[in-house]
Amino acid sequence: MREVAFIKQNKEKWLSFEKAIVNNDFDNPDELASQYIHVINDLAYAQTYYHKSKVITYLNQLSANAYQKIYKTKTTDTNRIISFWKTEVPLICYQYRKFIYIAFIIFFAFTFIGAISAANDGEFVRSVLGDNYVNMSLENIEAGDPVAVYKSGSNWGSFIGITINNLRVGLIAFVLGVFLGVGTLYIMFNNCIMLGSFQYFFYDKGVFWESVRGIWIHGAMEIFAIVIECAAGLILGASILFPATYSRYTSFKKGAKIGVKILISTFPFTFAAGFLEGFITRYSNIMPHWLSVGIILITLSIISYYYLIYPFKIQKQVTQPQNLSPVIH
């Protein structure tokens, strides 16, 4: 497209966006974020095809002002680490919330497939979990402690080993997103089939509630974090498949950067899950029901709030009226 045609096609949109920024005239937070993305895409297009054009300077100015509006809160955190989890990650989760929703839909679908498969094939659980694990679980159930497997090993040894393994699974789920997201889906499929069949196994043996009280003390954060990590992998895959106005390489770098930030944000929850599994889960069969259920609800509420609710709160805060200072990238 010739530069004149490009400017003519987008001029009204840019001027309207510029006016809206100055006057804080946005009907809802989604509108500001959506128009900002359009301007960034236009800027990338101009930088690619009109290297020496003044339109690049103008779009830089416009996108900088929009960035100030979206990403600068009224009070700026001096601590970069705090601001990363407090503001940056929630804003990313808001912008890419559809990937998180899709990851959860896939998670529930695959888990359901695992449960249904176990219900319709008596040998399916053994084919997934292995004979040794199933036999050990049957022995534990007969002994009156279905989740005794979590008592094996020392507290610290279990905590460290489990945490390292969960970090490895999350990292693999993200990195395999580079294969257009198919690798991430494969990791999700394997883990969800295991989870679904595992839970049905306990249901079939009449100890479903006992298994829930034990497994989900740590599983609420552990499984939730893995789903978020898979969402990061899907973002990475989508950045390659759907580069929009970016070059495919530029889109990939952007997707990788976003995905890594989301991946890192899950680490505290993964450490917390490892701690719970190493130090708390082993006592699930002797602790009061209200305590085990309380731990499950609290941990699930914390991680759900951070990834599903808090991003909307932060997005709303950063799009409130504020005084902007022009910034040139």
pLDDT digits (tens, 9 = 90+) for 132-176: 999 999 999 998 888 888 887 788 888 999 999 999 999 999 999
pTM of the model: 0.75
pLDDT for res 75? 45
Q: Of the given ranges (52-56, 172-176, 250-254, 299-303), which has the lowest mean pLDDT? A: 52-56
77 band by pLDDT with thresholds 50, 70 and 90: very low
| 3-state secondary structure string across 250-295 | HHHHHHHHHHHHHHHHCHHHHHHHHHHHHHCHHHCCCCCHHHHHHH
Mean pLDDT of 37-61: 83
The predicted structure's pLDDT at residue 72: 55
Tell me what the mean pLDDT of segment 172-184 comes to.
Answer: 96
d(CA 210, CA 213): 5
The rounded mean pLDDT for the chain is 87
82: tokens are 């705090």
Per-residue model confidence as pLDDT tens digits over 258-312: 999 999 999 999 999 999 999 999 898 889 999 999 999 999 999 999 999 999 9
How many percent of the chain have pLDDT more than 90? 58
Cα–Cα distance measured from residue 129 to residue 122, given in angstroms and rounded to the nearest whole number: 13
pLDDT at 4 over 50: yes
Q: What is the per-residue pLDDT for 253? A: 92
Task: Find, among 288, 282, 259, 314, the residue nearest to 85 by Cα.
Answer: 314
Q: For residues 115 and 259, what is the distance between their CA atoms, to the nearest angstrom?
A: 30
- Non-local (6+) Cβ contacts of 108 within 8 A are none
Domain spans in the chain, listed from the N-terminal domain onward: 3-74, 79-319
Residue 324: per-residue pLDDT: 35
- Per the CB < 8 A criterion, the answer to whether 240 and 177 are in contact is no
Span 107-127, average pLDDT: 95
Question: Please, what is the Cα angle at 221 between 215 and 225, to 5 degrees?
Answer: 125
* pLDDT tens-place string over residues 15-34: 888 887 777 666 556 667 77
Give percent of the chain above pLDDT 70.
91
Does 73 score more than 50 pLDDT?
A: no
